[in-house]
Structure 1
Amino acid sequence: MRTALLAALLLLAGLLPQPAAPHALQPAYLELARLGEDTWRITWRRPAVGGRPMAIAAALPDACSPRRGPAPAFDGGGFTSRWIARCAGGLRGGRIAVEGLAATRTDVLLRYETADGRAAAVRLTPDAPAATVPEDPGAATVLATYLPLGVEHILEGIDHLLFVLALLLLVRRWRRLLAAVTAFTLAHSLTLAGATLGLIDLPGPPVEAVIALSIVMLAAEVARPAGAPETWAARRPWAVAFGFGLLHGLGFAGALREIGLPETDLAMALLAFNLGVELGQIAFIAAVAGLALLLGRLWPRGFRAAMAPGGAGLRALAYGIGSLAAFWTVERIAAF
């Protein structure tokens, strides 16, 4: 019994990411939208830290005036400054920086429009807190920006990962598992595209609550005792994964709307973000399989018994996942 519980705890500790919040993707946001000849509207949004704006500052190119904006106002989730800047000669070749970013663990999504109407997005990081506006921004820039954001969102979104984990624990046959994962991917790709393109419009809070509830339902299936009659969800996990995947896609779309999309490269940004989500999901599944294989070799008999249907380790994981998801469900409903 001790071996089984130890295996379950090690598996849970190794699989769950560290951030406590279900969505940890909260980058700062800097947009330069062209209004007219040499004139741009600046939107600079910073995350809140301890009730105050994060200690970072956006600095526009030297040719722009003013280079820095007014004091920010709290918008319910972060602190936003807006101002109009005149950039003589345009933005191309200019350097846009975020001062103080190197001392944080935050990313900044920079979106800008050049004088000829071209739009681009660049991801600024603590290691690269500044960017020079290229002469010819292209699709490669969008791909390099949104693909890592997709990877980060799925790997830092603990609710989505717990759903995938519960699915892996529920489905034991590899053919069924492949079908379920494929159905989940197809479903969330459809609603991600539909919501991002404006074809689907559902309020975010109820969607987030049902996403948490979907994890509770899967965890309840995983916790069923050995020998219990096979349920419809266990017989057709692909249908369950597809149905709930539609909801998870709406959750991805909500995060993508907060990040923002370049209007002129919308399709490329959407594709890159979705590819990033898939890469992150594949990496998570590979990590689960690798860790399970390792524990199976270290404690072959104990781990097999712990993770068998009705086993102590499997039930401990199921109750842990279900309890956390139930808390989120109540919390999100209360936030309506």
Structure 2
Amino acid sequence: MAIGTDLPENCDRRSAPDPEFDGTAWVVQWVTVCPGGLAGGIVAIPGLDATQTDVLVRFELAADKSATQRLTPGLPSFVIPADPGFFEILRSYFALGVDHILEGLDHLLFVFALLLLIREKWKLVGAVTAFTIAHSITMAISTLGIVTLPGPPVEAVIALSIMFLASELLQRNNDEDRLTEKFPWIVSFSFGLLHGFGFAGALAEIGLPDDDVPLALLSFNLGVEAGQLLFIACILVTAALLKMFMPALIRAMRTPGHIGSTSVAYGIGGLSAFWFVERIAGF
């Protein structure tokens, strides 16, 4: 079912005209006049409740007042606030951060490879913490415009970072820990800096409220961390259940050189190599 757009009732053209195909995507643009402004009006996406997608609505109440609202199949409409408050921004950007990390398969695959590679609990905690600190730093400095990098090369090197971890999984052995296993926080921090630029690129596409940039940035970052911790918790719970009911499978995935661990490493490496080639081709 197609989705549409319903603007506030005071707008003289509430619905979108027919979309046009520009060779890449279906695009629709139109101008409407809303006497009295948008504040207090309802924006709805008819048909969204019958889909499995989300819609991001970015609106400006004044030249220096912009905000973003995420609509979902369970929430296909919203009332435009006169002035988005602290909790509206916190809730909206926190949810966007959670969604971004849970939908970012490359970031999750990097974390999953870390979980497989690091066998000591405190080293794992240190690696995850270092990854969090690193991508928080670069996401902040990139979003604030202090240091920026072009998106396509960043995305390609993110895929390359996953290939590196897959290689480390293949080359580990029981006799001696590799450098990545001895000092995993160095690797996770280094690549975390790069992943932060990827998060910043996504946040730039979403847009930030002009007068609440620090709050929106913090909320989005907290959402990313919450989603990452949720993913790690799911993996650890799944591993604990498999260890209880299928211990041989866990041993196979954890034993260097075993066909189980080798297959997982090749699977991670193959998928990340595909992403790398695809992203290079898309430059």
TM-score (norm 2): 0.92
Give the match for residue 258 of structure 2.
Answer: 311
Q: Which amino acid aligns with 2:170?
A: A
Give the match for residue 158 of structure 1.
Answer: 105
Q: Which amino acid aligns with 2:233?
A: A
Q: Which amino acid aligns with 1:246?
A: L
Q: In the TM superposition, what are the counterparts of 1:1-336 in structure 2 within 5 Å?
A: 55-73=2-20, 78-114=25-61, 118-227=65-174, 229-301=176-248, 303-336=250-283
CA contact (8 A) 1:57 1:100 kept: yes
CA contact (8 A) 1:192 1:252 kept: yes
CA contact (8 A) 1:91 1:115 kept: no
CA displacement, residues 137-195 of structure 1 (integer Å, 9 cap, x when unaligned): 21211122111111111111111111001111111111111111111001111111111
Deviation, 1:78, is 4.2
CA contact (8 A) 1:209 1:329 kept: yes
Give the match for residue 19 of structure 1.
Answer: none
Q: CA 1:134/1:303 → structure 2, altered by over 3 Å: closer, same or farther?
A: closer
Q: Which amino acid aligns with 2:67?
A: A
CA displacement, residues 286-321 of structure 1 (integer Å, 9 cap, x when unaligned): 111111111111133553354223333222211111
In angstroms, what is the RMSD of aligned CA positions? 2.1
CA contact (8 A) 1:59 1:97 kept: yes
CA contact (8 A) 1:184 1:242 kept: yes
Q: Which amino acid aligns with 1:167?
A: L
- In structure 1, how many angstroms separate the alpha carbons of the residues matched to 2:20 and 2:86? 34
Q: CA 1:296/1:133 → structure 2, altered by over 3 Å: closer, same or farther?
A: same
Q: CA 1:219/1:260 → structure 2, altered by over 3 Å: closer, same or farther?
A: same
Q: CA 1:212/1:116 → structure 2, altered by over 3 Å: closer, same or farther?
A: closer
Q: CA 1:83/1:310 → structure 2, altered by over 3 Å: closer, same or farther?
A: same
Aligned length: 283
Instruction: Tell me which stretches of 4 or more aligned residues in structure 1 moved more than 6 Å.
Output: none
SS at match of 2:5: strand
Of Structure 1 and Structure 2, which has the larger fraction of its residues in strand? 1
Of Structure 1 and Structure 2, which has the larger fraction of its residues in helix? 2
Contiguous gaps of at least 5 residues in structure 2: none
SS at match of 1:131: strand
Q: CA 1:73/1:192 → structure 2, altered by over 3 Å: closer, same or farther?
A: farther
SS at match of 1:88: coil
CA contact (8 A) 1:118 1:137 kept: no
Contiguous gaps of at least 5 residues in structure 1: 1-53
- In structure 2, how many angstroms separate the alpha carbons of the residues matched to 1:250 and 1:119? 23
CA contact (8 A) 1:92 1:133 kept: yes
Q: Which amino acid aligns with 1:125?
A: T
CA displacement, residues 47-90 of structure 1 (integer Å, 9 cap, x when unaligned): xxxxxxx8222221111122234444556764443333221112
Q: Which amino acid aligns with 1:235?
A: K
**More moved, 282-291 vs 230-239:** 230-239
Q: Which amino acid aligns with 2:38?
A: L
Q: CA 1:302/1:166 → structure 2, altered by over 3 Å: closer, same or farther?
A: closer
Q: Which amino acid aligns with 1:145?
A: S
**More moved, 178-187 vs 110-119:** 110-119
- In structure 2, how many angstroms separate the alpha carbons of the residues matched to 1:68 and 1:306? 54
